[in-house]
Amino acid sequence: MAESETTEPSRARPALVVVNGISADAAQGTRGDKRGAAVSFSRSELNVIFNLYGAKVAQGEWRDYAIDFTPAKAVFSIFRRASEAPLYRIEKDPALGRRQGAYSVIAATGLVLRRGHDLSRVVRVLDPALRLVGAE
């Protein structure tokens, strides 16, 4: 090796990490992507949402859903029919987590029905408990 040649440290790729069948590169997007990983619902959050969704499907009120994961938020959209606009959207926005709460339920008109830190309490706005009406 001559004196004019310099040696650079080798830039080997780190070992591939696979979690739950998804590689770390796939979970974070492409290498060098500045946005980071997409926001998603956890398994316990999906259990809360699908328990409500299943009950409403059984009642015949809802028929279809869609889930969107973006770098900013995760959205669960609820449809009466697949060809229509969503009736409600359940959103998880971590940027609002410390302020108003990461979870919100939004109506088709864009009106925020409820927002908070606990998903199970937030989605209760879509399935209110039955109240006893007194006969007078």
Give the residue extent of every domain in the chain.
43-126
Give bridge partners of residue 112 from the DSSP assignment.
Answer: 106
| pLDDT for res 106 | 92
Average pLDDT of adjacent 10-residue blocks, the chain of 136 residues: 50 43 45 64 90 89 90 90 84 86 90 90 81 62
pTM over 0.85, yes/no:
no
**pLDDT at residue 43, as a whole number:** 92
- How far apart CA 34 and CA 115 sit, in angstroms, is 29
In this prediction, residue 23 carries a pLDDT of: 41
